[in-house]
Amino acid sequence: MELVITNGTIVNASETFRCDVGVQNGRIVALGTDLSGDENLDATGKYLFPGLIDAHTYLEHPSHGTRTADNFFSGTRAAACGGVTTVIDVAVQGEGGSLLEAIEARHALAGPQAVVDYALHASITRFVPETFAELPELFNEGAVSLRIDLARLAAHEADDGALLALLETAGHEGILVVAQAENGAITERLQARALADGRVSPEHFPGAHPAFAEIEAVQRLLLLAEAAGVAIYFSALSTHGALVAINAARANGQPVYAEATPSHMLLDSSLYGSLDGQHYIVEPPLRVEADRAALWRGLTMGSVQVVASHHRAFTTAQKALGDSFATTPPGIAGTETLLSLLYTHGVKGGKLSVNQLVGAVSTNPAELFGLHNKGAIAIGKDADLVIFNPNDKRILTASALHSEGGHTVFDGWELNGYPETTISRGRIVYEQGRFTGEKGMGRFVGRTA
């Protein structure tokens, strides 16, 4: 065998056991004891996790007159150094273009640059018959979902009727619909009022994007999705009220899933009043303690299935470009810190088991998005592996990270546990603090039945 990892404690979503792992041709080919390979890594005292699937990233994305700081090379490099072996990025339909063209444009950017594997959400902006006609081809082209942004329906010249027609088509084709839910008419009105009154600083951002705008959008989409017979996945959920509505729909048999981010689980809206409040501007906004507690509780109880970074990095200079909260590019870097933050505050914090962690960041996104070669340590799966040292205590600093954003809102936080080695399809891409991957070695992975 080309590579063997010995003496590690394997953690899958449903089991934990001691075992050696043998790798050949990018796949796991053996689980046993006393294995030996051409190269051997000793994981004594360490966990061996399946590689993370970061279910939402935004690499090389335009925003508010600028572009995210990370391209597909620097962004996937940061991912690899945090234990992420697959990112799911967003392919946004261009003005006048098609969804399939958007996917091809993403391939042109990602293919030559990605150092870990990547998949794609297809994000619709044109609610027209020509786009609906493309939907049967989306999964054939490998897209893992159809994404909609409810806050921008009006900007996309769509109403609830067009939305229902889209959901009906998606339901007929068995397509999973990913939604970022916010009532754009409400937020636009409140934002315009705040700006007109001179309330332009970051501390006024949450008031323009109140919790009820998310809750209303979630409730409305659940009703439309039930009528259309389509499964819904809510991304970057931020409010207790929205989770209550989702839980009620699920209890009634509706296929609905929820995703949270470390930012919304660990940070709160009081930070908008700090001197660097612009760094915390993210969509949806950070909320209050009750919302944070509800997200943790949902993850523990299984009503939140996935935790994703929504990595959308901007430099300090880019964050200072806007003259108000409305023109500040929204986003927080997070793919490299996803695993360590969740382990520190979830597992070490007594909120999660280590198996639940693996479920939220690897197994569940693999199952929901049809990435069936990933998400678990088992014979035949891709050899996407993370050797994680639970005894590695350190202070997180922006200078130690690999994003071109050069900034983290978690700077100075203490971490209890850190990835030591990341292996992508049998190749070591990160080891002992050093990036060892190569540009372009990542592959596109599409949804499979």
The helix (H) or strand (E) run that includes residue 319 is helix 316-319
Contact, 121 vs 91, CB < 8 A? Answer: yes
Domains and CATH numbers, the chain: 3-49+378-435 (2.30.40.10), 51-368 (3.20.20.140)
Q: Give phi and psi for 395, each to the nearest 5.
A: -100, 125
Alpha carbon of residue 317 to chain centroid:
25
Q: What is the pLDDT of residue 303?
A: 95
Hey, what are 151's tokens? 């806050």
Q: Quick one: angle between helices 289-301 and 240-251, nearest 10?
A: 30
Helices (H) and strands (E) in the chain, counts: 14, 19
**Contact between residue 427 and residue 45 where contact means Cβ atoms under 8 Å apart:** no
CB atoms within 10 A of CB 133: 11
- Residues whose CB falls within 8 Å of the CB of residue 24, separated by 6 or more in sequence, listed in order: 1, 2, 3, 426
DSSP helix/strand/coil, 69: coil
Confidence (pLDDT) at 139: 84
CB atoms within 10 A of CB 448: 12
Of 210, 153, 159, 208, which is closest to residue 179 (Cα–Cα)? 153
pLDDT for residue 228? 98
The Cβ of residue 374 has, within 10 Å, a number of other Cβ atoms equal to: 24
**What are the Cα distances from residue 185, in Å, to 149, 189, 217, 230?**
13, 6, 11, 24
| Phi and psi at residue 249, to the nearest 5° | -65, -40
**What pLDDT score was predicted for residue 70?**
98
Residue 448: its pLDDT value, please? 85
Contact 357, 12 (CB under 8 A): no
Structure tokens of 403?
């994003």
Structure token pair of residue 76: 């996937």
**Average pLDDT, consecutive stretches of 10 residues, N- to C-terminus, the chain (449 residues):** 97 98 98 95 98 98 95 98 98 94 97 98 96 91 95 91 96 96 96 97 98 98 98 98 98 98 98 96 98 98 97 97 94 98 98 98 98 98 98 97 97 98 98 96 92
Cα–Cα dist 427/437, whole Å: 8
pLDDT value of position 392: 98
Q: What is the pLDDT of residue 322?
A: 85
φ/ψ (deg, to 5) at 167: -65, -40
Contact 333, 403 (CB under 8 A): yes
Helix (H) or strand (E) holding 96: none
Amino acid in position 80: A
